[in-house]
Amino acid sequence: MGDTAIRQVFVTGAAGFVGRHFQALIETQRDWRMIAAPHDFDLRDAGRIERALGALDRPPDAVLHLAAQSNVPQAFADPEATFDTNFLGTLRLLRALKHNGFEGRFLFVGTADAYGLVPDDELPVNENRPLRPRNPYAVSKAAAEALVYQWSQTEGLDAIMVRPFNHIGPGQDERFAVGGFARQVAEIALGRRKAEIEVGDIEVTRDFTDVRDVVRAYLGLLLQGERGHVYNVGSGAEERLGDILSRLISLANIQARVITDPRRMRPAEQRRMRADVRALQERTGWHPAYSLERTLGDILEYWKETLTNE
C-alpha cells in the first residue's frame, strides 16, 4: 500500500452520495489522504482518465472506483451508454492505471442487483450465489466485476470487489425510496404539503445499511480484504419498506395518509432481500455502527434543513 506515511486513495465518483461520505471518513484518518477525480473526469474518455492520473505527483496507494451510470430506467433506455461507462470505462481506467505505474490496491464497487431474482427460501444471499442480472445496469456491473477479477489474475492487479446492498443516509437523492419518503414526510412536517404520501410497493423488504457504515466497510477492505475476493456489503437484516415509512412518520410526529401510486410500481419486483455479510465481518471485524432509527432521524433532519434553506 505504499511506503510513505500518508497513503493516497484516488476516488472516482467522489462528488456522488457515497463519495462525499467516504471523503468525510477519510478526513478523520490521519494516515490517509483522498484525491478526488477531477470534475471533468469521464470514464467514456480515455484521454481525460490519462490526464487525471498523469497529473498526480505519484501513483496512488489505492483506488476506490465508485463512478458509474447507476440509474436502472436510464440503463434500459440507453444500454450502450451504460456499458460504455460501467464496463468499458472500467477497462479504460485499469489501462490508464497500469500505464501510470499503479501498483496499489483497487476496490471495485459493483452491485447486489447482479444476483437477480432470489427465492425467499435461498436468503440470505452469499457471495457464492451465481449472478443472474436482470437489467442492463446490473449486467454492466457484473461484467465489469468479472473484468476486474480477470485483471487480478492475469495483470498483477491487487483487486477487491464488493457487492453493496441498499444503502441510505443523509444526502441521498429523493429518487431512491427512503429519500423520497423522507422528503415527503419533511414537507408535511414543515406545512408545505398536504398530509398525503405517495408510494409504490411498500410490502417488499430490503437490506438497508447506513452509507457511513458502507464507507467504513470499503476502507476496512482496502486495508484487510483478500486479493481477488468479492464481498457483500449490507446490514444482514431485512426491513419492510412500509415499516421504514411508518418510522419516518413517527419520528416527524405527523399523521399522513399513504397513497399507492401505480406509476411507482415495478414489474416482477424482488419481494424480499437480505445479505449474508459474514465474509466481510470475518475478514475485517466490521459491524454496522448506526442504528436504523438514527439513520432515519438523520435523513429526516437532512431533508428538513434542505427544504428550509431552499
Task: Please tell me the number of Cα atoms within 13 Å of 257 on its side-chain side.
Answer: 6
Q: What is the pLDDT of residue 307?
A: 97
Q: Taking residues 61-77, what's their average pLDDT?
A: 96
Q: Parallel, antiparallel, or unpaired: how do β-strands 257-260 and 196-199 relate?
A: parallel
Contact (Cβ atoms closer than 8 angstroms) between residue 183 and residue 213: no
Distance CA 210, CA 208 (A): 7
Superfamily of domain 7-164: NAD(P)-binding Rossmann-like Domain (3.40.50.720)
Q: Residue 3: pLDDT above 70?
A: no
pLDDT tier at 267 (50, 70, 90 boundaries)? low
Q: What is the pLDDT of residues 87-124, one digit of tens each?
A: 999 999 999 999 999 999 999 999 999 999 999 999 99
CATH number of the 177-203+239-272+297-309 domain: 3.90.25.10
Average pLDDT, the chain: 95
Q: Residue 75: pLDDT above 70?
A: yes
CB atoms within 10 A of CB 113: 23
Cell numbers for 259, please give them. 397513497
Q: What is the pLDDT of residues 208-227, one digit of tens each?
A: 999 999 999 999 999 999 99
Q: What is the pLDDT of residues 8-29, one digit of tens each?
A: 999 999 999 999 999 999 999 9
Q: Residue 261: pLDDT above 90?
A: no
Side chain identity at 108, as an amino acid letter? F
Domain borders along the chain are 7-164, 177-203+239-272+297-309
- Partners of 232 in the β-ladder: 163
Largest CA distance in the chain: 59
Percent of the chain with pLDDT over 90: 93
Contact (Cβ atoms closer than 8 angstroms) between residue 245 and residue 197: yes
